[in-house]
């Protein structure tokens, strides 16, 4: 008997009792549907986050800030934090003040001194913009950020910043100024900002690019480090001019081992150091944990459905005891009996998985349409559910595998029946 013949026999046997088979397949359907939806939701969230965070890239820039040491007793234990003496006047200017998270440029230089491969450092400038206008047209409110040296930005039009006196503006702002965003590239954008004394100052910049959408780029316009330094100096007075919350280190190489060594060295010196890839990995790990947690609910449903498969096949063995005895008497071996009943369990899982997967995809696509219609502006390019072939194949194989395991015991029992006792069975 060929494999295809056994599959046909197993499939025909399932429909001897249509109601019982339908209810068992329905239980598998629920688990498969839930698993498909949770996988689709996780993949959709990952795709969206990836599209939002990957518009600012660099494989050789390390983001650095002072390490915050919490009290030993924890934030809720009421443990007081020990006061540490600040550097006195006359001490080295690169000595760190343990009572503040702020850093000066000499302290940043001190932190990386002796580390091989450091190409440049960029302080984390905090800028306050007021407005932006292109070629003297209408003024728009301005949120300012700085693109550190070594970091590139993806653009819908134009290019990333590669020199002094340049600016990249958000996609939404550019469309408001000119629907044809290509027309803006190369034009002069004038930004307004308030100096420390309250005086409004203006600065002409070359508009070199329009940023793609992203968490950091939806609202911020980015300027080069020289422009940021100029604005920062004008907006700070006294000691505040040379105080920053952190800085970035641009390395001469993107070699992972050297990057890790620098991060370790900075950690030993009392700093927290992360790359853009580290930040993205934490985000993806959080999505992965969420996806795994949601999938556990689907696996519970599959586990419950597996008992339905066992029940269905045990009853089938009892109902077909004489038939099994006759088949054995006519020469069918134990292996083929086991195979037929195993195939019945796999087919139950297959049909349940197929219907559940198709149902999950259909509901997911409808949900995407509804989301796009209701929140198109806020979630442009976002699909709540994303279904990939590997994910669908995994669900099908997992459910069929669970069904096979559930059918092993009844199949083994059927294959071990004595043909003489089976023919006498009432």
What tens digit of pLDDT does each residue of 318-332 get?
A: 777 777 777 777 777
Q: Rounded to whole angstroms, how far apart are CA atoms 206 and 189?
A: 6
Least confident of 188-197, 335-344, 391-400: 335-344
Nearest in space to 362 (alpha carbons), one of 23, 36, 26, 43: 36
> How far, in whole angstroms, is CA 11 from its chain's centroid?
41
Most confident of 1-5, 100-104, 127-131, 276-280: 127-131
Least confident of 20-29, 76-85, 175-184, 251-260: 76-85
Model confidence over 46-68: pLDDT tens digits?
887 777 767 788 888 999 988 76
Determine which helix (DSSP H) or strand (DSSP E) holds 8, and give its type and residue range: helix 3-14
Model confidence over 96-120: pLDDT tens digits?
555 567 888 888 888 888 888 889 8
Any bridge partners for residue 247, and if so which? 64, 123
Determine which helix (DSSP H) or strand (DSSP E) holds 200, and give its type and residue range: strand 200-211
Higher-confidence residue of 172 and 321: namely 172
Q: Is pLDDT at 378 greater than 70 in this prediction?
A: no
Q: Where are the domains of the chain?
A: 3-54+282-424
Q: Is pLDDT at 310 greater than 90 in this prediction?
A: no
Query: Which pLDDT does position 90 carry in this prediction?
Result: 45
DSSP state of 72: T
> What are the φ/ψ torsions at residue 301 (nearest 5 degrees)?
-65, -40
Q: What is the pTM of this model?
A: 0.67
């Amino acid at each position: 008997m060929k494999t295809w013949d056994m599959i046909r026999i197993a499939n025909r046997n399932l429909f001897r009792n249509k109601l019982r088979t339908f209810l068992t397949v329905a239980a598998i359907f629920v688990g498969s549907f839930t698993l498909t939806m949770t996988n689709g939701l996780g993949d959709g969230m990952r795709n969206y986050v990836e599209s939002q965070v990957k518009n600012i890239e660099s494989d050789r820039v390390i983001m650095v800030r002072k390490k915050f040491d919490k009290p030993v007793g924890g934030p809720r234990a009421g443990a007081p934090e020990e006061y540490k003496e600040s550097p006195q006047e006359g001490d080295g200017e690169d000595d760190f003040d343990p009572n503040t998270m702020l850093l000066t440029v000499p302290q940043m230089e001190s932190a990386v001194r002796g580390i091989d491969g450091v190409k440049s450092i960029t302080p984390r400038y905090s800028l306050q913009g007021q407005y932006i206008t292109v070629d003297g047209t209408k003024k728009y409110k301005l949120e300012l950020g700085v693109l550190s040296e070594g970091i590139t930005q993806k653009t819908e039009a134009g290019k990333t910043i590669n020199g002094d006196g340049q600016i990249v503006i958000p996609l939404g702002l550019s469309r408001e100024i000119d629907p044809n965003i290509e027309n803006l590239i190369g034009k002069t954008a004038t930004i307004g900002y308030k100096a420390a004394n309250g005086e409004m100052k203006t600065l002409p910049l070359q508009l070199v690019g329009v940023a793609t959408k992203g968490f950091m780029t939806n609202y911020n316009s980015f300027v080069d480090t020289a422009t940021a330094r100029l604005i920062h100096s004008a907006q700070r007075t006294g000691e505040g001019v040379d105080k920053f919350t952190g800085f970035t280190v641009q390395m001469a190489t993107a070699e992972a081992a050297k990057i890790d060594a620098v991060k370790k060295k900075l950690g030993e010196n009392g700093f927290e150091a992360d790359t853009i890839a580290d930040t993205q990995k934490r985000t993806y790990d959080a999505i992965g944990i969420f996806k795994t947690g949601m999938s556990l609910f689907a696996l519970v449903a599959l586990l419950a459905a597996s008992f339905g498969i066992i029940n269905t096949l045990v009853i089938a063995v009892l109902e077909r005891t004489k038939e099994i005895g006759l088949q054995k008497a006519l020469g069918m071996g134990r292996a083929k009996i086991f195979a037929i009943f195993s195939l019945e369990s796999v087919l139950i899982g297959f049909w349940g998985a197929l219907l559940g997967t198709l149902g999950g995809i259909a509901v997911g696509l409808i949900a995407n349409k509804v989301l796009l219609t209701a929140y198109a502006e806020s979630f442009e390019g976002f699909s709540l559910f994303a279904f990939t072939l590997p994910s669908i194949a995994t669900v099908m194989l997992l459910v069929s595998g669970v069904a096979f395991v559930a059918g092993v015991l009844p199949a083994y029992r059927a294959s071990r029946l004595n043909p003489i006792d089976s023919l006498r069975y009432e």
